[in-house]
Chain A
Amino acid sequence: MYLTVRDATKLYGTFTALDRVSIGIEKGEFVCLLGPSGCGKTTLLRLIAGLADLDGGKITLEGADLSQMPARKRGFGIVFQSYSLFPNMTVAENIGYGLKIRGVPRSDIAARVAELLDLVKLPQVAENMPGQLSGGQQQRIALARAIAVDPQVLLLDEPLSALDAKVRAELRDQIRQVQRALGIPTLMVTHDQEEALALADKIICMNHGSVVQAGTPEDLYHRPATRFVAQFMGISNLLTPEDVTRLFPDLLPPRPATPKAQLACIRPEQVDITPAADGTAMVRSISFLGNLRRLEVDSPVGPLTVETHGTNPCRTGDPVSLRVAPDACTWVIDDAPAPKAVPA
């Protein structure tokens, strides 16, 4: 591991904001820190940046302990949610500020600033003041400023959340491109699962100040460890073993022996739906979402969500039969229910 956080603990008075959190980032890796509001993502990021002090645990960079090192000596780049450009400096001065502090000659700074402005595709704004830029442009400049000093780690705290959807998607791709091109190990905080799925090499899913699961986007989506992760990473049908016995008996055998794995998680697109006069389920409603249709189905064990691509002959009120392939079901631990995930 390049950067490791071991058993990081942070207390605010009697409130435990982070409880023995351990994570790691490999060289060149893009890691997303995902979790609901207030789960401690920003707190963890600030500990890594050196903007807050640990109450327990250890943070190391290539084996060297960082705990006594103030933020300004860590050489990390950081991009905040908003309002972090220096309003009294031009765009070029903002980007070059870190280099100026390091005593880089002026001509070299100018060259590097021009290079970075090209990289974030804003070559024409060098002499503007930050107040004259749009929110998306400001965040791009903040990104350029953070990477100007060739940081050892790039930390992004919801850099996109103050922007509207279209700018957001654009900038998201740009961040990823820049990160790939420069190979900077990056940790980005987000509470948008879609963003995390699209960007990350690795997602760390947090809740209530602890890491719930860490893994590739595929892992977290298809093989969630807990009910919280399953719900947070998208829409899922969560069935008790009794429900499964009634509805899809052939899914039971792969159930792991651990008694904690209590719920079957089935993603909506894993359910095969076919009209059948003798079907035990019925289509209650259909929403058309462009590339797919989402069907709410009344089954003998309660409502289920099903998604189909392309055309599907089912209509509202039709009786239907449902089928799920045995390997499409994951058994998850029943922890806390997650706040409702934003539908794609």
Chain B
Amino acid sequence: MSASETIRRPSRHRTFDSDRLLTAACVGLPLLGLILFFAYPMLIVFLRSITVDEGYGMGNYVQVLGSSGFWRATRHSLAMGGATTLLSVFLGFIIAQGLYRCAFPGKWLIRAVIVLPLLAPSLVQALGLIFLLGRNGVISRALGVEIEIYGFWGLLIANTLYALPQAVMIIGAALVLLDARTYEAADVMGASPWRQFRDLTLPSARFGILNAGFVCFIITITDFGNAAVIGGDYSVLATEIYSQVVGQRNFNMGAVVGIMLLLPTVIAYAIERQAMKRQQAGQTTGQVAYRPVFAPLRDLGMAGLSLLICAAIVAVIGIVVYASFVTLWPYNMSLSFKHYDITLAGGYSSLWMTILISLGAAVGGTIAVFLLGLGLRRLPQALAQPVQILAAMPAAVPGMVLGLAYILTFNSTATPLYLLYGSAALIGIVNFYHYHTQGFLTVMTGFRQLPPALEEAAGSLGAGLGRTARDVVAPFIAPMLVSVFFFLFMRSMVTLSAVVFLTTPQLSVAAVTIMRLDDAGLTSQAAAFSTCVMAVVCGAVLAMKMILALMQRRRG
């Protein structure tokens, strides 16, 4: 017992418990952020939507509901949402089925290709389609036909490509849940593969499909980038808000359309959360993963279909990269770096600024959701529940509406928050709160896997909250924190809808620059700028994969 003499006995007097204060701060600060930068702006949008000349009233709604433009946009949004949902869930199911229920080599390639659309601003799909099928598109010229790509069909394809990764991931997650033993039991009972598909696979993927449907629907009706570039005259609610606010500077009307766009997304989101719960409830532990055996007819067919879909994705994204190097599309197809010399005012400054903003959003956001999760664990359920609900709400709000809420809130001298207006910080903040829910839920998943005994052991060894968080909790959920960091970074790099209202001539972000380049007819430069953004995001993905692999290795 040589060393033990140096151990200090903890004092046994009643002392002020600093941990309670820390817990309060952990929850309090992120909560304050949620209220200030989410709840309050949303309240402002709502108030503005009912603001008429001499006070409050339903006048704006009456006016909007009476306009044919609004109804046309609503009809278009719903039709586009429905069609995209059907198409992307159908294609997503094929790919997920191929990945998890069929045996063929090269699945990693499909996995890699399928996430490509997530790594680029949504308007890249639209750009790609224009290079392929537009008046000067490769395919149109090769076939010698005139395709009208602007409008419903172009937008449908672009949106489908954009929603497809989500559909594949959600349906795939549902398929993974179905145990190999279930299929073995069915085999033993003499069920044919077709019967197994109909009686086992489809019912168990039911919630996944439903879920994927709602997510695709939300993504589609809230997306702005594709609609802005390839929608043409096919106006949807997102572009309608933009034209009300930016075109006609009619903020109150924009707020009304925003609230109308909020309705379907909130409903879809609420249903989706319920479906998710049902799916998780069916989850069992000790799963045996399904290992498909090679069945030529099924597998070759599915591999062919998957390959075809992937080829389409690669073509649309690849053509943008290719076109960015073409000297003068379509007349001089020799390659050059000419378009990387951005002629629009500001040049690449918005790219650097976006990287800076994205880093800020990722660092701040990761810390905020970590603190929130840490504090919520120590809060009684009755207090934690409402905070959790609030933290999960931003996902229901379309980026356009959040961006509009920000401009209404922060571009008003009524509060000191005005100081933030026009600053890069505000763009970082809007990006974080736009994607708050996903980050928060990921971290909460990590916290649920953390055995309470670890924190309790640290506590009884004398570690306070701060020390436990640093030495035990953070290392344990580090993979989740890394995922959240890169998720926030990548979304901030490519998002357009929320930030489109917040950029100024002095302060722009990458996605807005691409849109402006395209608007100015500098399509090749838009492609070049997109390629740069994609390169940064791909670099981030690779960095994330490497860090996660290293962590895995270290943990053994």
Contact = CB atoms under 8 A, between A and B. Distances in A.
Interface of A: 49-51, 61, 64, 66, 68-78, 80-89, 97-99, 101-105, 108-109, 111-112, 115, 129, 131-132, 142, 145-146, 149-150
B277 interface: no
B555 A87 contact: yes
Contact of A74 (B456, B460, B467, B555): B460
A98 B461 contact: yes
Interface in B434-454: 451, 453-454
B2 interface: yes
A71 B19 CA distance: 11
Q: Which residue among A78, A85, A142 has the maximum number of chain B CB atoms within 10 Å of its CB? A: A78
B453 A84 contact: yes
A112 B17 CA distance: 30
A115 B3 contact: yes
Interface in B497-556: 555-556
Nearest to A182: B1
A219 B9 CA distance: 36
B555 A51 contact: no
Nearest to A78: B460
A322 to B, nearest CB: 50
B462 interface: yes
Contacts of A83: 451, 453-454
A9 B19 CA distance: 24
Given A51-B456, A86-B458, A73 B556 contact: no
A76 B471 contact: no
Given A51-B459, A86-B471, A149-B462, A61 B7 contact: no
A66 B12 CA distance: 8
Given A73-B15, A111-B2, A84 B451 contact: yes
Contact of A78 (B10, B457, B467, B472): B457
Given A73-B10, A78-B457, A102 B462 contact: yes
Contact of B462 (A75, A86, A89): A75
Contacts of A109: 3
A97 B458 contact: yes
A69 B12 contact: yes
Contacts of A70: 17, 19, 459
A84 B476 CA distance: 12
Contacts of A76: 460
A291 B34 CA distance: 70
B457 A80 contact: yes
Contacts of B11: 73
19 contacts: A61-B12, A70-B459, A71-B459, A72-B460, A75-B9, A78-B457, A80-B457, A81-B453, A84-B456, A86-B475, A88-B475, A97-B461, A97-B463, A99-B3, A105-B6, A129-B555, A129-B556, A142-B457, A150-B1
Contact of A88 (B8, B12, B476): B476
Given A82-B453, A112-B2, A150-B4, 5 more contacts: A73-B10, A75-B9, A78-B457, A80-B453, A84-B454
B462 A73 contact: yes
Interface string B454-482: 10111111111001000110011010000
Interface residues of B, number: 35
B3 A68 contact: no
Nearest to B468: A72
Interface in B267-305: none
A176 B14 CA distance: 33
Interface string B7-43: 1111110110101000000000000000000000000
B460 to A, nearest CB: 5
Contacts of A72: 10, 19, 459-464
A105 B2 CA distance: 13
A111 B462 contact: no
A71 B555 contact: no
A131 B555 contact: yes
Contacts of A108: 2-3, 6
B3 A64 contact: no
B457 A84 contact: yes
Nearest to A110: B3
Contact of B4 (A49, A88, A112, A129): A112
Contacts of B17: 70
Contacts of A104: 3, 6-7
Contacts of B453: 80-84
A101 B467 contact: yes
Nearest to A99: B7
A101 B460 CA distance: 11
Contacts of A129: 555-556
Contacts of B461: 72, 97-98, 101, 145, 149
Contacts of A150: 1, 4, 7
Contacts of A75: 9-10, 462
A149 B461 CA distance: 8
Contacts of B9: 75
Contacts of B7: 99, 102, 104, 149-150
